[in-house]
Amino acid sequence: MRVGLVCPYSFDTPGGVQSHVAELARVLISQGHYVSVLAPGDDSADAAGDFPDFVVPAGRSVPIRYNGSVARLSFGPMSYTKVRRWIRAGNFDVLHVHEPVAPSLSMLALMVADGPIVATFHTANPRSRMLAAFQGIQPTRLAELSWGSAVSDAARWVPVGLCGGGAVMDPNGVDVDFFASAEPLPGYPRAGGTVGFIGRFDEPRKGMDVLLEAMRYLVPERPDLRLVVVGAGDEADLMREAGPELAEHLVLLGRASEQGKARMLKSIDLYCAPNLGGESFGIILTEAMSAGTAVVASDLDSFRQVLGGGAAGLLVPVGDPFAFADGIATLLDDPLRRAAFVDKARAVVAGYDWQVVARTVVKVYETVIAADPRSVAEIE
């Protein structure tokens, strides 16, 4: 079938939704489907070469404060024209828009498209002044969806709140084999204990402050403990925040490719997710679980769901650095308990493998295509 995927966030910068859309496209293409992805991105000749072949960049984006972060979105007359041309040229059997509640290409696609439309909601807390200005047109357009899905229970309230509708569960996927087969970084695993963090460490909701405070409790008794950090942010600011007592315990790797991220996860004893809120799923947890790395995470609803209610990872109170430190120490000192979490996580994460998720998505596509009046007319 011919599938059009619309990503609201710019492919110029990495992010969970962009990764979700790109991986879904790759799996669908591997299964023999034609897939085109429309997303914000620099569409100049030089920049366009940096995107996957299946991505059509729709032009540069603008930053909008969204869900405790800054999202780069495209919206306006020029974007509308590009969306309309892409949809007409694609002749898609089904259009799959992601995060249609934001002022984005996805919302514009809803305004243009005429045919089977599937929407996936990713964000658990879409509150911003900019978004509120657009919510007047959302209920009408969302009511025309052929199918709505959400990546987690936390994200399901969005379509309910905006248009009175619901959404079935359609979780984020992960390439389990890719992370499981990664090689550790040189010199790892190492003695003394190694914990890791991946994400934008300068965003308060990611909880780096909590993790640093937990490290302060730990390092006096564990002088060889290391925290390996992968992600974007001002490293100089992070080192100043860490202070001289923690500086030698931090290993900053900067931004990393997917391969680099996988290798980091295979190199550490524990993955730490001290997030404070605003998380609709927790894809990084499934990546750590796939790599065979035990997880210590804040007891957020979304993280609890991914970790099987706490059976596949240790959950600790949100925003409590002492509890986080105690959780880290407990698992570092108890390899048998760590191994038990890893074994359970391996079974849980199998359900999030992209091959499994993609089969469910294809069934949804087939269902909405079969139910489309134009398909019935062609059969008759």
Please state, in angstroms and rounded to a whole number, the distance separating the CA atoms of residues 289 and 43.
36
Please state, in angstroms and rounded to a whole number, the distance separating the CA atoms of residues 297 and 138.
34
Q: Are residues 154 and 213 in the same domain?
A: no
Q: Are residues 36 and 183 in the same domain?
A: no
Domains in the chain: how many in total?
A: 2
Say how many Å lie between the first and final Cα of the chain, rounded: 20
Q: Which helix H or strand E contains 305, and what residues bound it?
A: helix 301-306
Q: State the CATH number of the domain containing residue 155.
A: 3.40.50.2000
pLDDT at 125 over 90: no
Q: Are residues 361 and 372 in the same domain?
A: yes
pLDDT of residue 75: 73
Interhelix angle 235-242/208-218, rounded to 10 degrees, is 40
Q: Are residues 168 and 189 in the same domain?
A: no
pLDDT at 157 over 60: no
| 149 or 57, greater pLDDT | 57
Write down the mean pLDDT value for the chain. 85
Q: Are residues 290 and 308 in the same domain?
A: yes
pLDDT of residue 112: 87
Please state, in angstroms and rounded to a whole number, the distance separating the CA atoms of residues 134 and 99.
13
pLDDT of residue 11: 81
Q: Are residues 142 and 229 in the same domain?
A: no
Q: Are residues 244 and 165 in the same domain?
A: no
Q: Are residues 32 and 53 in the same domain?
A: yes
Q: Are residues 87 and 222 in the same domain?
A: no
Domain coverage including residue 201: 176-351
Q: Are residues 231 and 256 in the same domain?
A: yes
Please state, in angstroms and rounded to a whole number, the distance separating the CA atoms of residues 331 and 314.
9
Please state, in angstroms and rounded to a whole number, the distance separating the CA atoms of residues 9 and 99.
9
- Tens of pLDDT, residue by residue over 79-107, are 889 999 999 999 999 999 988 877 788 88
pLDDT at 67 over 60: no
- Most confident of the ranges 96-105, 139-148, 214-223: 214-223
Q: Are residues 224 and 181 in the same domain?
A: yes
Q: Are residues 168 and 180 in the same domain?
A: no
